[in-house]
């Protein structure tokens, strides 16, 4: 007996199938928070890359894997491919990152985005200008990661880090983002936004809480990636519980 061809109406991802190349070789938090946020009918198609300690060799290898994964995801029929990892996205330069998106879209005939592009669009939509940055990794990484704020067109007033090794980010407590955001806002009350880079540590529960407490925008990398992918796939639901970005844009 020949099975009938699947139709869009009878698959899990009948509204959108979002492909994501996930930098950590061991990916845990991204899919968990993805399914906390997205409406029914949206699914995640994920390929993990090669990042364990974020060496240059791992970044270069991950760039190559992500290109192959993008082609395989397009062949599998996803609605959008999101290339994860700002360091991977920008490893060959900002101009190359923009060209890469255009070239892949032309080749694959599918929408393509990157973590960097999604966060840039999110900060622009929210109107982020003067920001503080709370990042999950070693304190030695703070200046480098905080510089992403400038890449997104913002003035960075202050930044801090949690201190986690890359391969331990799944063990960061759920209160970490909230705690660091509060500390930064006490130190920099003129900030209009809190940025939470990296979509691989728990941030979803902190977004609304920080926005309500301080009356500022909160842009988390995970939130921005999912928002950008949903909107580019035509899923325009206003979603409560995860910040202004999902409620208003």
Take residue 109 and report the two structure tokens written for it.
């005939």
Q: What is the CATH number of domain 119-224?
A: 3.40.50.12500
Question: How does the average pLDDT of the chain come out, rounded?
Answer: 91
Domain 8-114 and domain 119-224 have a common topology:
yes
Reported in sequence order, the residue ranges of the chain that DSSP labels E, i.e. its strands, are: 16-24, 42-51, 80-83, 111-114, 130-137, 155-164, 193-196, 217-220
How far apart (Å, rounded) are the C-alpha atoms in residues 113 and 94? 14
User: Tokens 């993008």 sit at which residue?
Assistant: 70
pLDDT at 79 over 80: yes
Is 123's pLDDT higher than 90? yes
Helix or strand or coil: residue 184?
Answer: helix
- Segment 225-249 shows an average pLDDT of 97
The structural domains of the chain, with segments of one domain joined by +, span 8-114, 119-224
Architecture of domain 8-114: 3-Layer(aba) Sandwich (3.40)
> Has residue 63 got a pLDDT over 90?
no
* Predicted local distance difference test score (pLDDT) of residue 65: 81
What's the pTM value of the predicted model, to 2 decimals?
0.91
Residue 89 vs residue 163, higher pLDDT:
163
Of 39-48, 64-73, 224-233, give the lowest mean pLDDT range.
64-73
């Amino acid at each position: 007996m020949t099975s009938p061809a699947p139709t869009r109406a009878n698959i899990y991802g009948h509204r959108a199938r979002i492909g994501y190349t996930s930098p950590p070789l061991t990916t845990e938090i991204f899919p968990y928070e993805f399914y906390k946020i997205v409406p029914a009918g949206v699914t995640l198609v994920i390929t993990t890359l090669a990042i364990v300690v974020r060496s240059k060799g791992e970044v270069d290898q991950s760039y190559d894997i992500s290109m192959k994964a993008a082609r395989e995801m397009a062949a599998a029929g996803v609605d959008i491919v999101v290339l994860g990892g700002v360091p991977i996205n920008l490893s060959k330069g900002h101009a190359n990152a923009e060209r890469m998106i255009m070239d892949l879209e032309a080749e694959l005939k599918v929408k393509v985005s990157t973590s960097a592009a999604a966060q840039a669009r999110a900060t622009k939509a929210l109107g982020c200008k003067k920001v503080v940055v709370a990042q999950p990794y070693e304190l030695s990484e703070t200046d480098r990661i905080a510089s992403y704020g400038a890449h997104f067109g913002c003035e960075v007033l202050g930044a801090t880090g949690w201190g986690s090794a890359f391969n331990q980010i799944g063990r960061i407590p759920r209160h970490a983002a909230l705690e660091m955001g509060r500390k930064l806002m006490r130190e920099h009350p003129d900030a209009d936004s809190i940025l939470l880079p990296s979509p691989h540590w728990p941030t979803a529960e902190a977004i609304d809480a920080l926005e309500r407490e301080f009356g500022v925008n909160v842009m988390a990398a995970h939130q921005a990636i999912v928002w950008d992918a949903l909107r580019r796939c035509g899923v325009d639901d206003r979603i409560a519980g995860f910040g202004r970005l999902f409620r208003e844009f």
